[in-house]
Amino acid sequence: MATWSTKPSLIAAAIVVLGLSCSAGVAHGRRHGRSFVSSYDEPCKEMRLYLHDIIYDYSNSTSNSTSAAATKPTALSTAVADPGYFFGEMVVFNDPVTEGTALPPSLNETAAVRAQGMYFYDRKEAPNAWFSFSLVFNSTAHGHGTINLMGADLMSEKTRDISVVGGTGDFFMTRGIATLSTDEASAGLEYFRLKMDIKLYECYV
């Protein structure tokens, strides 16, 4: 019966928490006057963006490189197949993101949209990756804030969906799906371009 007696205090606590978060929401000027839109049939926002990943492979210039392997492939990777499928290799990236397919004129870290995060290879028999990254927007076209994405990049599939798990700023509390496809890739994956069709199903507008 102890559970019964604790319930009213839990409800009271919930009301206090709700009250606090409501007043915090009102106090947050950027969301003032905006409303929450959510439909799982129709996206509230759609974007097509291209991510360019240029891994530093010792021969490329350091100024042009946008990603770096932070670990080597594991011994298991090379034991299973030589030269292996990178199993266990982790790559950290800060990649330029563009609306068209062309590389931006400068690869320095000032692009209006960037993808910052990491991927690692997780399959013994073929290249396959898992991604976790933020799209960082500082752009007049798309606004300011971040969208956070994660999921399995099943590289043998032509298209694969990963989750948009949240957002900040102009993308406050957003959720959705990003459909990835490899638009171009060099043989050794030193350069690849991912097409990202992002559909957001929960937005503040």
Ligand X SMILES: *[C@@H]1O[C@H](CO)[C@@H](O)[C@H](O)[C@H]1NC(C)=O
- Residues in contact with ligand X by CB under 6 A are 54, 57, 59-61, 64, 103, 105-108, 110, 138, 186, 190-191
Closest CA to 203 of 29, 15, 20, 44: 44
Would you call the peptide bond into 83 cis, given omega within 30 degrees of 0 as the criterion? yes
Work out how close the CB of 22 gets to ligand X at its nearest, in angstroms, rounded to a whole number: 30
Work out how close the CB of 62 gets to ligand X at its nearest, in angstroms, rounded to a whole number: 9
> Which segments of the chain does DSSP mark as H helices, in order?
2-27, 75-80
Work out how close the CB of 66 gets to ligand X at its nearest, in angstroms, rounded to a whole number: 9
Nearer to ligand X, 69 or 107 (CB): 107
Nearer to ligand X, 177 or 185 (CB): 185
Nearer to ligand X, 57 or 99 (CB): 57
Work out how close the CB of 34 gets to ligand X at its nearest, in angstroms, rounded to a whole number: 22
Residue nearest to ligand X (CB): 106
> φ and ψ at 142, to 5 degrees?
-105, -15
Work out how close the CB of 149 gets to ligand X at its nearest, in angstroms, rounded to a whole number: 19
Q: Which residues of 144-176 are buried (b: 16+ CB within 10 A; e: fewer)?
A: ebbbbbbbbbbbeeeebbbebebbbebbbebbb
Nearer to ligand X, 145 or 176 (CB): 145
Query: Which amino acid, 14?
Result: A
Nearer to ligand X, 111 or 149 (CB): 111
Residues 141, 113: contact at Cβ < 8 Å? no
